[in-house]
C-alpha cells in the first residue's frame, strides 16, 4: 500500500538559511499534519491542513509557514534557521471519512550548523 512520502530525507543547512520540506500524503487522504521531534523528545504538533485550508496551528514559529496544494501535497517552509530547529520533521496524513488514524511519513532529518 502507498505510504506518506517526504522529501528530502536528510537536509543540512547553515544558520539563517531557508529550508523547504515536502510531503505527499497517502492517495485520497484529505488532511495533512506536520510534527517536529527534537532529540529524545516526543513529536510536537506544528500545523495541519484540511482540503487545502489551515485547520489547526500548534507551536509553530513565525519563521515557519506551510501550505497544502491542489494535489494535496504540502510544503513546510522554514526561514532564518536556528540551531534549535535541528530535528526530525514528520508529515502525517489521514482521511476525515476514515478512522481518525494518522499515518506518518519517514520524516526529514534537518541539521542546522
- Nearest of 100, 104, 96, 113 to residue 37 by alpha carbon: 104
Nearer to another protein by Cβ, of 51 and 56: the residue is 56
Task: Single out the residue of 23, 24, 48, 87 in contact with another protein (rule: CB under 8 A).
Answer: 48
Task: Single out the residue of 67, 79, 104, 111 in contact with another protein (rule: CB under 8 A).
Answer: 104
* 20 near another protein, judged by CB under 8 A: no
The pair phi, psi for residue 85, each rounded to 5°, is -80, -10
Q: Which residues bind another protein (CB under 8 A)?
A: 31, 33, 35, 37, 41-45, 48, 55-56, 58, 88, 90, 92, 94, 99-104, 106-107, 109
Amino acid at each position: 500500500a502507498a505510504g506518506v512520502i517526504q522529501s528530502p530525507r536528510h537536509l543540512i543547512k547553515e544558520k539563517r538559511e531557508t529550508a523547504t520540506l515536502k510531503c505527499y500524503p497517502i492517495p485520497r487522504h484529505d488532511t495533512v499534519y506536520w510534527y517536529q521531534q527534537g532529540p529524545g523528545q516526543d513529536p510536537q504538533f506544528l500545523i495541519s491542513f484540511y482540503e487545502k485550508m489551515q485547520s489547526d496551528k500548534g507551536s509553530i514559529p513565525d519563521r515557519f509557514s506551510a501550505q497544502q496544494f491542489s494535489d494535496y501535497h504540502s510544503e513546510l517552509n522554514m526561514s532564518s534557521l536556528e540551531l534549535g530547529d535541528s530535528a526530525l520533521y514528520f508529515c502525517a496524513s489521514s482521511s476525515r471519512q476514515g478512522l481518525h488514524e494518522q499515518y506518518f511519513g519517514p520524516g526529514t532529518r534537518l541539521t542546522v550548523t
